[in-house]
């Protein structure tokens, strides 16, 4: 029992199956669909949408806005944000970026009726060099894929690119989160990648203190880190000159 809990004292560094080049197309696309399921039913999409909506409250509805999503997978969260923007009669353009070619293919298929979303292939760590290109720079369920040094670099680059704010959604490393996702994977008959990777993702995830340290190292001072059910963190950082508008 003690050894079980000790497994969660520090981050696991084992790679996820989805990140392996030998993963078949069928298995990968099934995993993409199951990630969309998780985002929809386990609060991933709603917590990101809530954060964007809150940040837009003090922005005039006629202002044109732009958003960059790093590690977008099949672009389901950009799609949800675009749908909200249409309903709210806001002009919002979105660039959704991922490294995996199958994710790009699936993402383009998924958002094909939304020309305001551009799905592009690229490395998130290589595309954050320019200054203040987008109003919002977001990332969902991507940070835990990175080693600590790369996570800091990603956060630093996101802040560099964001004219207004950075939003990051990721998991909390917790034994109950691990047990819950393991059980859910079996009960809902999810695929082998989901059952393995989802539990491993929890072990690769962060505590609040670790996220605070990453934000400090990246220069995201006064970043707000909030807990969301079930076992999620949402980081929101606003650029100082717009934080008090």
- Give the pLDDT confidence score for residue 244 in this predicted structure: 44
- Does 220 fall in a domain? yes
- Give the pLDDT confidence score for residue 7 in this predicted structure: 81
Closest CA to 219 of 153, 142, 174, 167: 153
Contacts of 84 (CB under 8 A, 6+ apart): 49, 52, 53
Structure tokens at 163: 């004219």
Mean pLDDT, contiguous 10-residue spans, the chain (245 residues):
77 90 91 96 97 96 96 98 98 97 97 98 83 93 97 96 97 97 96 96 98 98 97 96 52
- Give the pLDDT confidence score for residue 2 in this predicted structure: 60
- Please say whether the beta carbons of 104 and 132 come within 8 A: no
Contacts of 116 (CB under 8 A, 6+ apart): 82, 85, 92, 93, 94
Structure tokens at 63: 């202002």
Name the pairing type of β-strands 92-98 and 162-171. Answer: unpaired
- Give the pLDDT confidence score for residue 1 in this predicted structure: 60
- Does 79 fall in a domain? yes
- Does 183 fall in a domain? no
Cα–Cα distance, 3 to 6 (Å, whole number): 5
State the residue range of the domain holding 66: 35-171+207-243
- Does 9 fall in a domain? no
- Please say whether the beta carbons of 130 and 63 come within 8 A: no
- Does 134 fall in a domain? yes
- Please say whether the beta carbons of 125 and 149 come within 8 A: no
- Give the pLDDT confidence score for residue 4 in this predicted structure: 72
- Does 195 fall in a domain? no
- Give the pLDDT confidence score for residue 20 in this predicted structure: 84
Closest CA to 142 of 42, 233, 54: 233
CATH number at residue 215: 3.40.50.150
- What's this model's pTM, rounded to 2 decimal places? 0.94
- Does 117 fall in a domain? yes
Closest CA to 206 of 171, 180, 237, 162: 171
- Does 192 fall in a domain? no
What is the count of structural domains for the chain? 1
- Give the pLDDT confidence score for residue 215 in this predicted structure: 98
Angle subtended by helix axes 44-56 and 76-87, to nearest 10: 40
Cα angle, residue 90 at apex, residues 87 and 93 outer, rounded to 5°: 110
- Give the pLDDT confidence score for residue 245 in this predicted structure: 42
């Amino acid at each position: 029992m003690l050894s079980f809990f000790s497994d969660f004292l520090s981050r696991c560094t084992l790679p996820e199956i989805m990140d392996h080049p030998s993963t078949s197309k069928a298995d990968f696309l099934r995993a993409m669909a199951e990630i969309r399921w998780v985002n929809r039913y386990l609060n991933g999409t709603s917590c990101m949408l809530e954060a964007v909506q809150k940040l837009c409250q003090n922005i005039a509805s006629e202002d044109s806005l732009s958003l960059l999503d790093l590690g977008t997978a099949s672009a389901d969260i950009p799609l949800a944000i675009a749908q909200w923007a249409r309903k709210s009669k806001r002009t919002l353009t979105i660039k959704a970026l991922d490294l995996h070619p199958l994710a790009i293919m699936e993402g383009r298929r998924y958002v094909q009726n939304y020309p305001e979303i551009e799905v592009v292939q690229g490395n998130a760590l290589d595309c954050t060099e320019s200054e203040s290109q987008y109003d919002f720079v977001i990332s969902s369920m991507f940070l835990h894929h990175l080693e600590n040094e790369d996570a800091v670099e990603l956060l630093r680059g996101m802040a560099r690119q964001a004219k207004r704010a950075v939003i990051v959604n990721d998991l909390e490393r917790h034994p109950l989160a691990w047990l819950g996702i393991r059980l859910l994977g079996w009960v809902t008959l999810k695929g082998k990648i989901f059952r393995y990777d989802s539990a491993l993702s929890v072990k690769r995830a962060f505590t609040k203190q670790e996220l605070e340290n990453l934000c400090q190292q990246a220069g995201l001072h006064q970043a707000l880190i909030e807990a969301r059910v079930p076992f999620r963190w949402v980081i929101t950082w606003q650029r100082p000159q717009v934080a008090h508008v």
